[in-house]
Amino acid sequence: MRGDKTIQEIAARHKVHPNQVSAWKQRGVEGLREVFSKGAERSRGDPEAEVRDLHAKVGELTVERDFLAKGLK
């Protein structure tokens, strides 16, 4: 992504086809856009509401785990 090596050099080093390297690079760039856009949205949200949501999810997962653990015994 930095551009210090050619696609052919990267492909040879990792023993893959150059098209695969191009696809990885494209997915990486798209993924970075998504990561940074979600980060911006998250920073604008209410942190207390996010904590409440996470606590609710933890409680839900704990109940599911306990239920499944009882079923395995």
pLDDT digits (tens, 9 = 90+) for 22-62: 998 888 888 887 777 765 565 566 788 889 999 999 999 99
> How much is the pLDDT for 37?
75
Query: Shortest CA distance to 25 belongs to which of 51, 7, 41, 39?
Result: 7
Residue found under tokens 């209410």: 46
> How much is the pLDDT for 61?
93
Query: Shortest CA distance to 2 belongs to which of 23, 19, 25?
Result: 25
